[in-house]
């Protein structure tokens, strides 16, 4: 692929992890494909489910990476939070949904998209710190098919799932983002971009490049279409557009004071229930 900018042999090569979800591929496409000037950096993408990225970060494997905010709260001594690239906002929280056979959550088999996801932290907070019972950790894209097949009674859905769960004959039990907003009046912090602390000297430059990548994507929304479609789980163009509109917002450009207040509130509640 020809790009507008060349990177010379003296470039600084950085691994960067992010999910295949449309909001992340929208944010990072211009950075990865050098539609913006990234010099002196050359970014090598590691595209994986966010829980896989959380696990890699636990071992310090990734230099720059997407993390669930829950994972970042657990890894703050190892990773620095970047101001750009986060998924944080209103009306975008995880949904707890149930299949037609689910009669009660008390003994329901609940599928959860990862031990270190913010979705799981929110479920535990909503359940008063007792959310560990009857949960099974699976990839996010296995949850709705698993409920439909009878493997699970209920599931905690994220990403594109919030737009398509009705197709699987599921009903919404609670919107955990809506619950969070009612409790705090703040947006829900879902995912962030972080840089390993030994790479701290590159923090500001990487932040600025992610910011520029987002600006480019907003000004040229069709430019990254092929890249986004190639990695998306849900190929419906309308769903993809809804996904990007919901999860890429002004907080993605910069957390700001409100975003940082939301992160502090999440940390305080997690500490209160001894979940950190």
- Asked if pLDDT for residue 235 goes beyond 80, the answer is no
Helices (H), 110-253: 118-126, 143-148, 161-164, 176-184, 203-219, 225-231, 237-247, 250-253
Which pLDDT score, from 0 to 100, does residue 7 have?
A: 52
Mean pLDDT within 68-95: 97
- Asked if pLDDT for residue 13 goes beyond 50, the answer is yes
Is 243 one of the annotated active-site residues of the chain? no
- Catalytic residue (one of 159, 211, 231, 243): 159
Residue 254's alpha-carbon distances to 30, 86, 118, in angstroms, are 18, 8, 19
- Asked if pLDDT for residue 168 goes beyond 80, the answer is yes
Tell me if 12-89+188-272 shares its fold with 95-184: yes
Q: Residues 176-210: pLDDT tens digits?
A: 999 999 999 999 999 999 999 999 999 999 999 99
CATH numeric code, 12-89+188-272: 3.40.190.10
Q: How confident is the model at residue 103 (pLDDT cuts 50, 70, 90)?
A: confident
Which pLDDT score, from 0 to 100, does residue 161 have?
A: 85
Q: How confident is the model at residue 132 (pLDDT cuts 50, 70, 90)?
A: low
Mean pLDDT within 213-242: 91
- Asked if pLDDT for residue 239 goes beyond 90, the answer is no
CATH numeric code, 95-184: 3.40.190.10
Domain residue ranges of the chain, discontinuous segments joined by +: 12-89+188-272, 95-184
Mean pLDDT within 225-235: 87
Question: Do 244 and 26 contact (CB within 8 A), yes or no?
Answer: yes
* Secondary structure (H, E, C), 72-115: HHHCCCCEEECCCCCEEECCCCCEEEECCCCCCHHHCCEEECCC
């Amino acid at each position: 692929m020809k790009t507008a900018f060349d990177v010379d042999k003296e470039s600084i090569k950085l691994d960067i992890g992010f999910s295949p979800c449309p909001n992340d591929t929208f944010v990072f496409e211009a950075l990865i494909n050098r539609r913006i000037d990234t010099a002196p950096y050359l970014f090598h993408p590691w595209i994986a489910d966010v829980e896989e990225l959380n696990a890699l970060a636990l071992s310090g494997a990734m230099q720059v990476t997407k993390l669930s905010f829950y994972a970042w709260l657990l890894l703050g001594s190892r990773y620095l939070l970047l101001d750009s690239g986060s998924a944080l906002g209103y009306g975008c929280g995880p949904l707890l949904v149930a299949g037609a056979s689910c009669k009660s959550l008390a003994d329901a088999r609940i599928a959860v998209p990862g031990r270190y996801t913010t979705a799981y932290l929110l479920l535990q907070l909503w359940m008063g710190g007792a959310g560990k019972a009857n949960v099974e950790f699976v990839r996010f894209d296995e949850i709705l098919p698993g409920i439909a097949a009878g493997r699970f009674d209920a599931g905690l859905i994220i990403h594109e799932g919030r737009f398509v769960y009705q197709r699987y004959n599921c009903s919404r039990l609670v919107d955990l983002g809506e619950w969070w907003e009612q409790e705090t009046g703040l947006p829900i912090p879902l995912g962030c971009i972080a840089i390993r602390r030994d790479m701290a000297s590159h923090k500001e430059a990487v932040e600025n490049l992610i910011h520029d990548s987002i600006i480019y994507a907003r000004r040229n929304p069709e430019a990254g279409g092929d890249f986004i479609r190639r990695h998306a789980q849900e190929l419906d163009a309308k769903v993809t557009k809804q996904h990007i509109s919901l999860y890429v917002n002004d907080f993605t450009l910069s957390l700001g004071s409100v975003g940082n207040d939301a992160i502090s509130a999440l940390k305080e509640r997690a500490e209160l229930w001894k979940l950190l």
